[in-house]
Copies of this chain bind each other. A is one copy, B any other.
Amino acid sequence: MQIERREFLSALALAGAAVFSGNPLLAATAPKKEKLGIALVGLGYYSTDLLAPALQMTQKCYLAGIVTGTPSKAEAWKTKYNIPDKNIYNYQNFDQIADNPDIDVVYVVLPPSMHREYVVRAAKAGKHVFCEKPMAPSVADCEAMIKACNSSKVKLAIGYRCQHDPNIQAIMKLAKEPKFGKVKMVTSAAGYFDARTDHWKQKKALGGGVMGDMGVYALQGARLATGEEPISVFAQASTTRPQIYKEVEETMMFMLDFPSGAKASCQTSFGINMNYLRVNYEKGWARLEPQSGYNGNKGSMSDGTLIEFAIKNQQAKQMDEDCDAILQGSDLLVPGEEGLRDIRVVEAIYKSAASGKVVKI
C-alpha cells in the first residue's frame, strides 16, 4: 500500500515537474514558479561551506529543504537558514519528499557510492536531480541514474560548476572556433594536499580515490579543451602515504589519445597542490591557472588575450543556470550524459592502472 501511495504521489509530483519542463499543456494548469526549491542531501563540507552560502545569492532557486542523518545538523541548519520542519528529512523518510511541493530539485551531495541510490530515489519521488561529481563509481551506476531520471521525466544535472565558469568556457570555445588551429597537446592537473587521515575520500566502499574526486577536473580539462572523447588511455596509480591511502590511490597520472590525434597528459593527486590547464594548438597556446578553483580561475592565450572573467559565485551561477534551464524547459548545460562520459574514461583509467597496459575506450 505504501508503495502504491508513493507511486501515486510520485505521479502527481511528476505532473508538477512537467510544468517546469516546459510542457505547455500542463503549464496552463499550474502556476509557474519563479524560483525552484532545492533540498540538499548530505550536509558535509561542500553543502555547508559552498552550496548553502551560494543558495543565499541565487535568483532562480533557494534553499528549501535538507536531508541529513544527523539531528544536530538538522537543528543548526533549521535555525541558520530558517528551514521549516516539514522540509527537513532524514534517510529513512527521504522518499516522502515526493509529497512536498516546496521541493523541486534534490541536490545529492553524498559520497559517490551513494549517488546512484539517492538519484534514483529522488527521480522516483518525481524531483529533478542535481548530483555532485563524480557522478558515480561505475558506468553501470551512471546509466541506471540516467535511465531512472528519463523514466520519471525529471532532469538530471551533474554539479560540474566549472563548465558554468566563463574562464573554462573560453578554452572550450577554442575547440569549437579554432582561433589557433587544431588542439595538439593538453596538460591538465588538479590536486591538493589533503591532510585528513580518515575521510570517505580515502575509502573505496564510499567511492573514494583521487581519480573521481580531483581527477575528473584534470580529465575534464582535457575533454573540454579538445571537445573530443578519448579513445585510449594509459594510467599509473600511486601513493606516498600508504598508511592513509590503503584502499584507494593518492595520485593518478594518465595519458589520453583523442580521435583527432590530440594528446593529453593529466595528473591528479591528494598529495600535491597543483591546478592548471595548458593547451598547445597548431598555432598558439592557451592556459588557465587555476583551472578549477572555486574562484579566481584565470589564464591567457599566446596572442596576448587574457582570460580573467570574474564571477560572483561559481556554485550560485551553476545552480541558477541549471534551474533556469528547468524553468525554461531548455537543455541543461551539464546533463547526466556528460557525467557518464567522464566515468567511462575513469573506468578505463582504473583498468589501465591495474593492468599496466594501454586501454582502448
Whether, in the assembled complex, A251 has its beta carbon less than 8 Å from a beta carbon of chain B, the answer is yes
The CA-CA distance from A356 to B359 in the complex, in Å, is 11
Q: List the B side residues contacting A240 at CB < 8 Å.
A: 261
Choose the segment among A34-42, A77-85, A262-270, A303-311 that binds chain B (4+ C-beta atoms closer than 8 Å): A262-270
Contact (A253, B251) CB under 8 Å given A234-B234, A240-B261, A265-B265 = no
Contact with B along A114-156 (1 / 0, CB 8 A): 0000000000000000000000000000000000000000000
Contact with B along A274-287 (1 / 0, CB 8 A): 10101010110100
Contacting residues of chain A (226-257) with chain B, CB-CB under 8 angstroms: 234, 236, 238, 240, 251, 253, 255, 257
Choose the segment among A6-14, A57-65, A182-190, A291-299 that binds chain B (4+ C-beta atoms closer than 8 Å): A182-190
Cβ of B274 and Cβ of A280 under 8 Å apart?
Answer: yes
Distance between A8 CB and nearest chain B CB, rounded to angstroms: 55
Whether, in the assembled complex, A333 has its beta carbon less than 8 Å from a beta carbon of chain B, the answer is no
Distance between A49 CB and nearest chain B CB, rounded to angstroms: 23
Q: List the B side residues contacting A170 at CB < 8 Å.
A: none
Q: List the B side residues contacting A280 at CB < 8 Å.
A: 189, 272-274
Q: Among the listed B185, B271, B356, which residue makes an inter-chain contact with A184, where contact means beta carbons less than 8 Å apart? A: B271
Whether, in the assembled complex, A199 has its beta carbon less than 8 Å from a beta carbon of chain B, the answer is no
Q: List the B side residues contacting A193 at CB < 8 Å.
A: 282
Contact (A358, B356) CB under 8 Å given A185-B189, A274-B285 = yes
Nearest to A253 among chain B residues (CB) is B255
Cβ of A187 and Cβ of B265 under 8 Å apart?
Answer: yes
Q: List the B side residues contacting A283 at CB < 8 Å.
A: 273
Contact with B along A156-172 (1 / 0, CB 8 A): 00000000000000000
**A interface residue numbers (CB < 8 A to B):** 184-185, 187, 189, 191, 193, 234, 236, 238, 240, 251, 253, 255, 257, 261, 263, 265, 267, 269, 271-274, 276, 278, 280, 282-283, 285, 356-358
24 A-B pairs within 8 Å (CB atoms) are namely: A184-B269, A184-B271, A184-B272, A185-B189, A185-B267, A185-B269, A185-B274, A187-B189, A187-B278, A189-B280, A236-B255, A238-B257, A238-B263, A240-B261, A253-B265, A255-B265, A263-B267, A265-B265, A265-B267, A272-B280, A273-B283, A273-B285, A278-B278, A356-B358
